[in-house]
Structure 1
Amino acid sequence: MKNKELHNLKSAGFKTPDDYFDSVEEKIFSKLNTESVLDSVNTPGFKVPDNYFESLNERVLNKALSEEKPKVIPLFSKTNIIYVSSIAAAILLLFNLSIFDSKPTFDNLDIETVENYLEDESISTYEIAALFSDKQIDEDTFIDYNFNEDNIEEYLLNNVDIETLILD
């Protein structure tokens, strides 16, 4: 129900019998005055052994002082120590390996590896030229370099098809 409609209710919806609140006290007192089922019980049903409470202290002390040791589960068992030490050894081995020390340098690169990379990645000459600065590309370095005629001839024989040169 919505709160707007609460003021329109004429009845609460619950009904009590006629003269219920007038006679409720009399009914309660009559139930209290009558003999209940609990009064007719002579024994509670629980029985304490004879001299139980007199000998209780002695029995508790005897059990506490007895030589029987309770079962104790140690915190550091052999299996736990083995697990922890194996994990520590694995971590120590990981950090001692030279995996983290290997840094690639230009000294250990092969020329073939660089050539294959450039061929496979299809990098254009404009992209390669963008990597060089103006100081690195100087005409004088290329002009002043003296090529040996034997090296040029060997290069042309091994790498260039002579027929295509003749046709061009």
Structure 2
Amino acid sequence: MDKNNLHNIKKTGFKTPKDYFANLDDVILSEIKLKETIKNPGFNVPKGYFEALEKRIITNVSEQESSKVISLFNKRTVIYVSSIAAAILLLFNLSIFNKDAGWNKLDTETVENYIIAEDYGSYEIASLLSEEDLKEEDFIDYNFDNENIENYLLNNLDIGDLVNE
């Protein structure tokens, strides 16, 4: 609330129940009469109860047998689980799921770049090929159109290759 507006408050905000002060005397007197008439509350504590309480608690606690504790992570279980995890990890890390790369899957450009980088000569390349690889039938079966030859020459040859020096 604002400190400047405290002097303007006319209501306190607290209300008493209807006929509260008219019946207050009767309520107080009835409580006093009730306490005078009831001298015995109805609950009794045996004699010496609180003096012997501590000894009884200690004897009850010490008489309980200690239970056998079974560890969840014993050595045998840990070794068993870790060996299974290692086997699964090894299975996924091996290259058994990778398909072998064959000669058919090699890209022509990759092979050309490898040959250029390793500086192989024509005699070394010829020594790798067998007579079966160089059959005349493999070269004759191709049908070369003039348009395909022109496209190949335009895309793969430089002008310097065509001009004799």
Q: Smaller-chain TM-score range?
A: 0.3 to 0.5
